Structure 1
Amino acid sequence: MSPAHARPIALRWCNAGLGLAIAWVMLLNCGYVGSATHAAPQDKRHQAAQDRPQDEPVADHRLHRELYVPIEHLDALLISGDQRVYLEREEFDRLLMQRQVESESPPIDSAVLAANYSMRISGDRAFIDGELTIANWQTQPTLVPLELSNVGLLSANVDGGPARLTRDQHGRTLLMIEGEGTHRCHLNLVTSVQVDAARQTLQFQLPRPPACQLEVVVPGDVEVTQGADVVERVVDTRSNTTRFQWILRTGPMSVTMSLNNKRLQDSSITLARSVLVSELRRGGERLHATTSLHIVHGAVNEFRAGLDENVEVHQVDADRPHQWQVVRGESGPVLVVRFPTPVTDLVVLRCVLDVHRGADSQWQFPRFAPMDTIGASAVAGVLLEQGLRLSGIDGELVMPIDGRILVDALPQTLQSAQTVGADPLVPVAAFVVPASSRYTIAAHLDAPPAELHVASTAMFTVSEQQIQQTAVMAITPLHQRVYHVDLQFPVGWDIETVRDAQGEPLQFDTRNEDDRVRAHVTLARAVQSGETSTIHLTARIVPDDWIGDWQSQTVEIRPVEVVGATDHIGAIEILPAGDLEARVVQSEELIVLSSAEKQEAGLSTDDAGAAFQFWEPSWSATLEVQKFAPRKVARTLNFVDLQPDSMRAHAELIFLIERAATSELVFSLPESTPTEISITALA
């Protein structure tokens, strides 16, 4: 049958889970479909397209396929699925065009694309300015929902004109947008801030688009304790405000912050009780301050104390999280300790301050004056290192008490410092300081001069390659702490190693100074007054013309000096090595030691070495170094092999070398010896 007799039938079926699928089938009233049958439907579709009016939309056949099935096989399609409806061709084309139009329309009518919020907190109110960017994809008016909660609307405008707002049945705020495109909406909002004795809380909800920014400005120096993700926090001391960058969350937010410092101070009542102990040592002075803050009323989130100009804060500890810094106040430096959560109960602070004293012998008790309190009293005491003397102690606005009570009331920071092997401290004075920050305690401080005692032993090993010095130095400071020592070597000496008593290497650096080599050695730890630290060092020198052929040379050796040493005593030993003989031909400030005295001084028991003792570090010794001449005895064995046309000789020379080593052997050969000979040496 020709395609002209084909009967068009459209089928539509819906399968659950696969959505809506549309296909139409051209059924034929014949049992045979030839090759001409396949070409006719294509011509028919072109003819149908030409017969349509020009304004009628044409379906995009690339989105579906048309199948032609014989009419007798229609039951195979009808029974293979459910939810199928028979359609005429005209209805099928109409539904297909409607689906294409629906797929081209946007999934939503409008959306908030971006938002920029600025919040300013003033008293118990928070004022919010919001700039929203809204996109509308419909030409007709559209209602845009705004997720606002716990805020009051002061004003709103869209594109410079008044905004039209309403609410739906759920209480949501709806903003009417007219016209397709991008629109700007400006909102002025306000919300309440709940303030109690120690914190301030605000609750709100704002529209949260994908691109969003929230800046918050709060009076005073405050912290966010919970409820907000802080990106940035900046404290502006000039305007006395804190500026935050928050990440706006989706849904309602409840943010808790600490109170403004000034507001807390004005509404709180605080008492301060302090124990101030000045630790006076030869190496410096430290003030140990233990302060108990009693919050009688309200809450505080910071503690302030006035300091002297020559004071540097070394350590601040507390029984709760805190941060501290030193700022510049009207009357000098001020220590500020901040707590992230306002404090309403007892707080104990332990501070350690380094006091930088000048060369003046006049001493004055360092100032540590708590601020923002209705009362601040203290007990002030002085602990003196043994060997120091404090005379003429006098105080104003203080009452003297028995200084021995400080032994049972030492601050924890001072007790921990005492365990490091420091010199013992003696309590010399104590005072009760009433509620006044203008008290003074002064005295005259006498300190004995610092001393540095050195005892050393040195061994000089003289060999054909070099002169090596191995020294052990015992350094004992008095009336001072020693952190490093400076050693001076005669020019030409090369320092190889510097180690402590446990054999651990010590850090050192060297530099040349005129006719000296100076080595700056850093000790493993500070050496307290009366302690002894041991240094082991090795150095070497190669005198001029030392490497070569010589029989006798003269060389001078001098000591290693410790810069700043009060006295330097010790012993030296000169030990030749190999085939050398070293003899002291001239010496200054040296005393010869016997074998027994060498053993007492910790030197070697080798009789070949000469040992000396010195009492001043200015000794010197001139050595005459000679090489022993070797004694050589030789025997000769000759073997001759005679041939008719040649002669072959084999000779063995046996040398016996005594007294000293030699680096060469000399022998002679007849003048008739051929030039091609072989010589082999066997040691």
Structure 2
Amino acid sequence: MDSSNRFKSLQFLGMVGLVCSLLGTSLEAQEKSREIYVPFKDLKSVLAGPIERIYLPRSEYEDLLKKADIKPGDTPPQNTVLCKARYDVRLHEDFATIRATLEVESLAEGLQLLPLRFVGVSVLSAQIDGEAAPVVRASPQQVNLLVGRKGKATVIIELATPVRHSAAEQSFAFELPHAPNESIGMVVPGNIEVKSGASVVSRSIDDQANETSFELLARPGPLSVTMSLNNKRLQTERQTIARSVIVDELNESLERIHATYSMEIVQGAAAEFIYEIPDGFEVTNVDTPDLARWSVSQVDGANLLKVEFRSPQTSAVTVKITAIETSPSWE
């Protein structure tokens, strides 16, 4: 081997050795950890600094390092999930019952807690897959459901909430757990309209059962619904003082009656008034504020005038009625 080739070989071996030396130094630097020893008498000044620190024995610190060494994807972001919820609300006289049918899933083995937000309701019972489910009231706004096995399960919770009544309205307010797939149904006695607080998806009336069924649009947060009062309740709890002035106009060809009624509602609310019309008279005009419609029908041989309002009335109402008789008898 000549001198030039020998020089090139030595140069190559020198470069390889330099690279290996640098790699070894880099790996050694990565494996080393820096530790700073502080005298115990100066430890208080270090812990009292503006940065939050905690003092641990070395064994506990090493245990925490092992627990923190978890690969991404080994554990779910949360152990329990509320997947689906169906709420069926049924109004009674002074309270409402709610049946919550929940589909939940536990993503981890062992006993897990599922926090559920229930505000303004009382928990009557809870079942998970047909068996009694343990629940814990963590706070006035939260109930924790204990899920004992991994996988999906069906939870049924019976709830109750008070219903408030005013002169012409009934209302309730509560908050239920929100789910990605959620629906709310409501059944109310009587012919009822939702006035505010919820968006109505559908409404149907069962005349035979005298009930109104609603499907409401589910949304996160509190639900406060105001409805019209049950039409039967309006009739049973109403007290009204009626005063009237009747003017009878007579001529050769007809008889005309001008009746003015002052209806003072003392208690409850009135959605309609009914007046008896004398035989032979035909109603030609009805005038009153907030009038929706009027009609005359014959019931048990009597002519009855029904005056209906757009909304239940709670204060004094004046009703003016005009009726004529085209063939009066002067005997």
Superposition TM-score, scaled by structure 2 size = 0.66
Residue 170 and residue 311 in structure 1: after superposition, are their counterparts in 2 closer, same or farther (change >3 A)?
Answer: same
One-letter amino acid matched to 2:166: D
Distance 1:231 1:314 in 2: 40
Q: What's the CA shift for 1:302?
A: 1.1
Q: What's the CA shift for 1:327?
A: 9.8
Residue 214 and residue 274 in structure 1: after superposition, are their counterparts in 2 closer, same or farther (change >3 A)?
Answer: farther
2:30 to 87, 91, 113: 87
Distance 2:131 2:150 in 1: 16
2:329 to 370, 376, 392: 392
Q: What's the CA shift for 1:115?
A: 1.3
- Look up the match of 2:98: 128
- Look up the match of 1:242: 212
1:20-47 CA-partner distances (Å, limit 9, x unpaired)? xxxxxxx6437xxxxxxxxxxxxxxxxx
One-letter amino acid matched to 2:221: G
- Look up the match of 2:40: none
Q: What's the CA shift for 1:145?
A: 0.9
Distance 2:72 2:283 in 1: 74
One-letter amino acid matched to 1:176: L
Which of the pair has the greater relative contact order for Cα pairs under 8 Å at 6+ separation? 2
In structure 1, runs of 5+ residues without a counterpart are 8-26, 31-67, 75-84, 279-284, 352-379, 385-389, 395-683
Q: What's the CA shift for 1:191?
A: 1.1
Task: Judge conservation of contact 1:120–1:218 (CA < 8 Å) in 2.
Answer: yes
One-letter amino acid matched to 2:123: L
Alignment pair present for 1:210 and 2:202:
no
Q: What is the aligned-residue identity percentage? A: 27
1:404-445 CA-partner distances (Å, limit 9, x unpaired)? xxxxxxxxxxxxxxxxxxxxxxxxxxxxxxxxxxxxxxxxxx
Alignment pair present for 1:337 and 2:320:
no
1:297 to 266, 269, 272: 266
Task: Judge conservation of contact 1:277–1:381 (CA < 8 Å) in 2.
Answer: no
- Look up the match of 1:261: 231
Task: Judge conservation of contact 2:282–2:324 (CA < 8 Å) in 1.
Answer: no
In structure 2, runs of 5+ residues without a counterpart are 1-11, 33-64
Q: What's the CA shift for 1:118?
A: 1.3
Q: What's the CA shift for 1:274?
A: 7.4
Residue 130 and residue 348 in structure 1: after superposition, are their counterparts in 2 closer, same or farther (change >3 A)?
Answer: same
SS in 2 for 1:188: strand
Q: What's the CA shift for 1:250?
A: 2.3
Map of 1:491-502 to 2, 5 A cutoff?
none
SS in 2 for 1:138: coil
Residue 103 and residue 311 in structure 1: after superposition, are their counterparts in 2 closer, same or farther (change >3 A)?
Answer: farther
Higher share in helix: 2
Alignment pair present for 1:29 and 2:21:
yes
Q: What's the CA shift for 1:328?
A: 7.8
One-letter amino acid matched to 1:29: S
Map of 1:412-451 to 2, 5 A cutoff?
none
Alignment pair present for 1:174 and 2:174:
no
One-letter amino acid matched to 2:93: G
SS in 2 for 1:168: strand
Q: What's the CA shift for 1:291?
A: 5.7
Count, aligned residues = 278
Residue 217 and residue 185 in structure 1: after superposition, are their counterparts in 2 closer, same or farther (change >3 A)?
Answer: same
SS in 1 for 2:216: strand
Distance 2:128 2:15 in 1: 63
Task: Judge conservation of contact 1:288–1:350 (CA < 8 Å) in 2.
Answer: no
Distance 2:257 2:30 in 1: 98
SS in 1 for 2:163: strand
Q: Larger Cα Rg: Structure 1 or Structure 2?
A: 1
Q: What's the CA shift for 1:245?
A: 1.9
Task: Judge conservation of contact 1:264–1:298 (CA < 8 Å) in 2.
Answer: no
Residue 291 and residue 200 in structure 1: after superposition, are their counterparts in 2 closer, same or farther (change >3 A)?
Answer: farther
One-letter amino acid matched to 2:213: R
Q: What's the CA shift for 1:163?
A: 0.3
